[in-house]
């Protein structure tokens, strides 16, 4: 394999000059740049990115910590983050925390040790001080940590309003909201707040359930939904905080013989691509996964480049009406 020395010999300059070209440091004439590039191509030179990253103090790696890449929402966001990272010359180290606090901290240490240029945090079980001690460009998804760490979220409050108002407009008399865990201090809690505000104002009977802390457990959803219908057989509308949970509600309706949307109206959340495959189609609040991924990468890169970035970044959601309402 060709080395920098081989290129220097071929061009007839010093190793230092070649290194200057490779790392874009100091004064480099256009002629020299061109001759080095030609020699690199001729000799099929593969720069050692690891050595270069030591010199430049830049690894061009972004770390991503999410709960679980096999959850469709995070899978879609990860796809777009990787796409835009690659487009901007960055690589992506993927970490699945399974919403485990210890695991999150271990990953943070690993990413710092690996000299990543920035971290996108989409899993949030740690305390505020664990974040503020990271001291790397960072963006959080769906959680506001401090005034100084930029975050991206879709408009959860608006999403909660849209979902609740739709169920009321369609005539539901007793509505359940199945929320993610409210102790995690996520911005998704605003969906719950909007539900409570709207439904209390309109004086409509309602209940709120929340999922456990232990990640995305389909069996847990099944039990939660099943006992909800047993305890509250008069529920005629459900606003679920994910399409996965909404699909579980639909499945339970089939099982116990409730027809959708006649006896039961269902609204999900996220707008995952798989939602369009289920019949009847589940009405949902679509989060802009592509824009979230694109913006996360942009905010990391702008911080790496020393630019000031907006701290609060809230993207619009969209109501998609399908046959479940």
119 binds a copy of itself, rule: CB under 8 A: no
Q: Which is nearer to a copy of itself, 146 or 279 (CB)?
A: 279
152 beta partners: 141, 313
**Burial level of 276, CB count in 10 A (0-12/13-18/19+)?**
middle
Contact 285, 73 (CB under 8 A): no
65 binds a copy of itself, rule: CB under 8 A: no
CB atoms within 10 A of CB 171: 9
Q: Which is nearer to a copy of itself, 121 or 194 (CB)?
A: 121
Give CA separation, 109 vs 119, 133, 139, in Å.
Answer: 11, 11, 16
Pick out residues in 25-64 that bind a copy of itself (CB under 8 A): 46-51, 53-54, 59, 61
Provide, rounded to whole angstroms, the least separation between the CB of residue 160 and a copy of itself: 23
In angstroms, how far is CA 260 from the centroid of its own chain? Answer: 31
Count of residues engaged in binding a copy of itself, rule: CB under 8 A: 48
Helix (H) or strand (E) holding 305: none
Q: Which is nearer to a copy of itself, 60 or 185 (CB)?
A: 60
Helix (H) or strand (E) holding 119: strand 118-121
Pick out residues in 130-169 that bind a copy of itself (CB under 8 A): none
Beta strands in 241-317 (DSSP E): 265-270, 283-286, 312-315
17 binds a copy of itself, rule: CB under 8 A: no
Q: What is the DSSP letter of 275?
A: G
Query: Tokens for 309?
Result: 């970035």
Give CA separation, 121 vs 53, 76, 77, 271, in Å.
Answer: 23, 15, 12, 21
Q: Which is nearer to a copy of itself, 190 or 228 (CB)?
A: 228
Figure out which of the listed residues 250, 266, 267, 319 binds a copy of itself, where binding follows CB under 8 A. 250
Cα–Cα distance for residue pair 9/12, rounded to 1 Å: 5
93 binds a copy of itself, rule: CB under 8 A: yes
69 binds a copy of itself, rule: CB under 8 A: yes
Provide, rounded to whole angstroms, the least separation between the CB of residue 50 and a copy of itself: 5
Figure out which of the listed residues 65, 95, 152, 167 binds a copy of itself, where binding follows CB under 8 A. 95
Provide, rounded to whole angstroms, the least separation between the CB of residue 288 and a copy of itself: 15
In angstroms, how far is CA 241 from the centroid of its own chain? Answer: 15
96 binds a copy of itself, rule: CB under 8 A: yes
Q: Which is nearer to a copy of itself, 59 or 303 (CB)?
A: 59
12 binds a copy of itself, rule: CB under 8 A: no
Name the site residues for a copy of itself (rule: CB under 8 A). Answer: 46-51, 53-54, 59, 61, 68-72, 75-76, 78-79, 82-83, 86, 91-96, 109-110, 112-115, 218, 244, 247-248, 250-251, 254, 273-274, 276-280
């Amino acid at each position: 394999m060709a080395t920098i020395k081989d290129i220097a010999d071929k061009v007839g300059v010093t190793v230092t000059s070649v290194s200057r070209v490779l790392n874009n440091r100091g004064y480099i004439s256009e002629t020299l740049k061109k001759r080095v590039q030609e020699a690199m191509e001729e000799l099929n030179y593969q720069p050692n990115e690891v050595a270069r990253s030591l010199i430049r103090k830049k690894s061009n790696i972004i770390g991503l910590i999410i709960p679980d890449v096999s959850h469709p929402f995070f899978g879609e966001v990860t796809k777009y983050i990787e796409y835009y990272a690659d487009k901007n010359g960055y690589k992506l180290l993927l970490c699945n925390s399974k919403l485990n606090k210890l695991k999150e901290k271990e990953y943070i240490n690993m990413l710092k040790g690996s000299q990543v240029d920035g971290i996108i945090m989409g899993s949030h079980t740690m305390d505020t001080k664990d974040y503020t001690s990271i001291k790397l460009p960072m963006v959080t998804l769906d959680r506001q940590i401090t005034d100084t760490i930029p975050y991206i979220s879709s408009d959860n409050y608006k999403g909660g309003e849209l979902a609740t108002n739709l169920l009321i407009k369609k005539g539901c008399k007793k509505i359940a909201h199945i929320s993610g865990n409210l102790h995690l201090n996520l911005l998704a809690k605003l969906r719950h707040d909007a539900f409570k505000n709207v439904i209390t104002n309109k004086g409509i009977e309602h209940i709120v359930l929340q999922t456990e802390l232990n990640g995305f457990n389909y069996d847990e959803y099944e039990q939660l939904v099943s006992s909800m219908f047993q305890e509250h057989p008069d529920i005629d509308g459900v606003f679920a905080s994910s399409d996965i949970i909404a699909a579980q509600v639909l499945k339970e309706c089939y099982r116990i013989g409730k027809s959708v949307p006649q006896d039961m109206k269902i609204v999900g959340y996220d707008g995952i691509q798989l939602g369009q495959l289920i019949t009847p189609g589940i009405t949902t609040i679509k989060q802009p996964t592509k824009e979230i991924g694109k913006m996360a990468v942009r905010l990391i890169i702008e911080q790496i480049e020393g630019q000031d970035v907006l701290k609060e970044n809230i993207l619009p959601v969209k109501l998609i009406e399908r046959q479940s309402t």
